[in-house]
C-alpha cells in the first residue's frame, strides 16, 4: 500500500462509474422492447440464451424451498433468523407516522405517509448471490408496510437459486420469487408480463446490464441509487492495533478488484505496521487475487499531522464504511459529516454491520455519502401533503393569494380564489 503524508486535504475517492458502451446500451434497449412486446416468452428465451437453462416456469416452487432448507445447516438458518430480527428491530426505529396539525383559524395541514404498493428486489446471481442482501433489501420494505415484494434472480444451470437466498426469502415470508435476471428481469418488473406484475420501485445491485436497464426504466418506476465500487476508510490513532486494521481493510478488498481500502492515521509507525500486516495477511486469503488487485490499485494510507486533519480527510472522502479506531471514537462523531455507516471502536469491525448488527448494509458508495443515505424505511414510503383550509382562513387570506398569483402573471389562479365569493 502506498503511504502518503497529508499535505493537501483535497483527496477524493471518486472514480468514474461504468455507464456502459453504446453497444451495451443498444442490447439493453432491445431486451426491454422484447419483454414489453412478448412478455414471458421473452423472459424464457433470454434466460435460455444468457443463463443457459430452459425453465418450465419462472416462479420458485415449494419443492425448491424444501431442497434449500435441506441443503443448509439448521444452525445457519437460526443465525439468519437472528440477523433478520436485529435488522427488523433497527429499521422499525426509522418508521415515521403521518401527522396533522390544526391552527387557531381551524385550518388543518398535514403530511400523510403511505407505503409504496409494490417493489421489486434484484438479487445478483453466481457468487454474488448473498442471503444478507435479501435481508437488507426486503426488511425495510416490510417495515414500511409494502404489501407486494417481488424478488428476481438469475437461475444457475440447474435452473434454481442458491439455498441461502431461498432460505432468507422464505424466512421473510416472500411469496413471489422469479428465476430471471439481467435486463430482462428489470424490464419485467418495470412493465409487467403475464406472470410478473409491474412494481413501483426496483432495488438491488447487479451487473452493467442490470444497471443500464435500471437507468432506462427510471421515471416510469423509481429505482435506488446505481451502486459504484465499494470502499472502507479506517480512521485511527496510535492506540489501534495494526493487525485488526489490516484485517478490516482486507475484508473490503476481497469484495471486488474495484473496491478501495483506505487508512487515515495520525501515526506513521502504525502506517508502516499496517502495510506490512496487509502484505502478510493477504497471502493466506482464498480470494487473494481479488484482494491484492484491489489493494494495489485503490489501497492507500494517509498519515495526518493530527486528528483534526485526519477527520477533514475523512469528510473529503465521504466513505461508504468508516471505522473510527481512535482512543475516544464517540468524541469525533460530531465532526464526521459524511459517511454511510460509522463503526465506532475495535469491536465494531465492518462485517458486524454487513451481516448482523441491524443497520442496513446497502450504503452510498464512491463519495456519494455527501448527499445520500443508507437504504432505509423512507425509501419505501412516500408523502402526501394535506391542506384543509377553513372558511375563516380563506376569507382572511384569499386576497393575498390572489395578489401573489397576479405578481406571477397567473390570472386564473387569482380567479379560482375569487370564484369562491360568488
CA 258 remoteness from chain centre: 17
CB 35 within 8 A of CB 185: no
CB of 241 to a second copy, least distance (A): 8
H or E element, residue 354? helix 350-355
Q: By CB under 8 A, tell whether 148 contacts a second copy.
A: no
Q: Choosing from 176, 300, 316, 321, which is the catalytic residue?
A: 321
C-alpha cell at 385: 401533503
Answer yes or no whether residue 407 interacts with a second copy by CB under 8 A: yes
CB closer to a second copy out of 34 and 320: 320
Tell me if 86 is assigned to a ligand binding site: no
Q: What is the nearest approach in angstroms of a second copy to the Cβ of residue 348?
A: 4
Q: Is 216 a catalytic residue?
A: no
Give the separation between CA 220 and CA 106, rounded to whole angstroms: 39
Cell of 346: 475495535
Q: Which residues, 203 to 262, sit near a second copy by CB under 8 A?
A: 219-222, 226, 243-244, 246-248, 250-251, 253-255
191 binds a second copy, rule: CB under 8 A:
no
| Residue 399 counted as an annotated binding residue | no
**Burial group, residue 361, by CB count within 10 angstroms (0-12, 13-18, 19+):** buried
- Cell, residue 214: 435500471
355 binds a second copy (CB under 8 A): yes
Q: Which helix or strand (DSSP H or E) is residue 203 part of?
A: strand 201-203
CA 322 to chain centre: 16
Q: How far is the CB of 180 from a second copy (least distance, A)?
A: 22
Residue choice 111, 156, 258, 267 for contact with a second copy (CB under 8 A)? 111
Q: Which is nearer to a second copy, 43 or 336 (CB)?
A: 336
Of 109, 197, 208, 293, the one binding a second copy by CB under 8 A: 109
Cross-strand bridge partners of residue 324 = 235, 344
255 is in an annotated binding site: yes
Catalytic position from the list 171, 231, 254, 320: 320
**Catalytic-residue membership of 320:** yes
Residues β-bridged to residue 153 = 179
Identify the residue among 1, 291, 304, 312 touching a second copy (CB under 8 A): 291
For the chain, helix, strand, coil in percent to 5 are: 50, 15, 35
Contacts of residue 372, defined as CB under 8 A and 6 or more positions apart, other chains included, come to 225, 340, 364
Q: Which of 32, 35, 116, 301: binder of a second copy (CB under 8 A)?
A: 116
Write the burial class of residue 252 (CB in 10 Å: 0-12 exposed, 13-18 middle, 19+ buried): buried
Q: Which is nearer to a second copy, 49 or 126 (CB)?
A: 126
Q: Which of residues 67-96 bind a second copy (CB under 8 A)?
A: 75-76, 79-80, 82-83, 90, 93-94, 96
Residues contributing to the annotated binding site for substrate? 230, 252, 255, 321, 354, 408, 413
Q: Give me the active site residues, please.
A: 320-321
Amino acid at each position: 500500500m502506498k503511504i502518503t503524508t497529508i499535505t493537501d486535504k483535497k483527496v477524493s475517492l471518486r472514480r468514474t462509474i461504468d455507464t456502459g458502451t453504446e453497444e451495451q446500451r443498444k442490447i439493453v434497449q432491445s431486451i426491454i422492447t422484447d419483454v414489453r412486446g412478448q412478455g414471458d416468452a421473452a423472459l424464457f428465451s433470454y434466460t435460455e440464451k444468457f443463463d443457459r437453462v430452459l425453465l418450465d416456469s419462472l416462479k420458485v416452487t415449494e419443492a425448491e424451498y424444501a431442497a434449500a432448507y435441506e441443503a443448509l445447516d439448521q444452525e445457519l438458518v437460526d443465525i439468519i433468523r437472528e440477523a433478520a430480527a436485529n435488522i427488523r428491530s433497527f429499521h422499525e426505529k426509522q418508521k415515521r407516522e403521518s401527522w396533522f396539525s390544526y391552527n387557531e383559524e381551524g385550518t388543518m395541514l398535514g403530511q400523510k405517509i403511505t407505503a409504496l404498493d409494490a417493489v421489486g428486489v434484484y438479487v445478483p446471481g453466481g457468487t454474488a448471490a448473498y442471503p444478507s442482501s435479501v435481508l437488507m433489501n426486503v426488511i425495510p420494505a416490510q417495515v414500511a408496510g409494502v404489501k407486494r415484494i417481488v424478488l428476481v434472480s438469475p437461475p444457475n444451470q440447474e435452473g434454481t437459486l442458491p439455498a441461502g437466498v431461498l432460505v432468507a426469502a422464505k424466512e421473510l415470508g416472500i411469496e413471489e420469487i422469479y428465476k430471471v435476471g439481467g435486463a430482462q428481469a428489470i424490464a419485467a418488473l418495470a412493465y409487467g408480463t403475464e406472470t410478473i406484475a409491474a412494481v413501483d420501485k426496483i432495488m438491488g445491485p447487479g451487473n452493467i446490464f442490470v444497471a443500464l436497464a435500471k437507468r432506462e426504466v427510471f421515471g416510469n418506476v423509481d429505482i435506488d441509487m446505481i451502486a459504484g465500487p465499494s470502499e472502507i476508510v479506517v480512521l485511527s490513532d496510535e492506540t489501534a492495533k495494526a493487525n485488526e486494521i489490516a484485517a478490516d481493510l482486507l475484508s473490503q478488498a476481497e469484495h471486488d478488484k474495484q473496491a478501495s481500502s483506505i487508512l487515515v492515521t495520525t501515526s506513521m509507525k502504525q502506517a508502516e505496521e499496517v502495510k506490512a500486516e496487509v502484505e502478510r495477511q493477504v497471502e493466506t486469503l482464498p480470494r487473494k487475487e481479488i484482494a491484492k488487485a484491489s489493494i494495489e490499485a485503490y489501497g492507500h494510507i494517509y498519515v495526518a499531522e493530527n486528528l483534526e486533519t485526519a477527520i477533514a480527510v475523512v469528510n473529503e472522502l465521504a466513505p461508504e464504511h468508516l471505522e473510527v479506531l481512535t482512543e475516544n471514537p464517540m468524541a469525533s462523531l460530531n465532526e464526521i459529516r459524511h459517511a454511510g455507516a460509522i463503526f465506532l471502536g475495535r469491536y465494531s469491525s465492518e462485517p458486524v454491520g454487513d451481516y448482523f448488527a441491524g443497520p442496513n448494509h446497502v450504503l452510498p458508495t464512491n463519495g456519494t455519502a455527501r448527499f445520500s443515505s443508507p437504504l432505509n424505511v423512507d425509501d419505501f414510503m412516500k408523502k402526501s401533503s394535506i391542506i384543509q383550509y377553513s372558511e375563516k382562513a380563506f376569507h382572511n387570506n384569499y386576497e393575498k393569494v390572489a395578489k401573489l398569483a397576479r405578481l406571477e402573471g397567473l390570472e386564473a389562479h387569482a380567479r379560482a380564489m375569487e370564484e369562491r365569493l360568488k
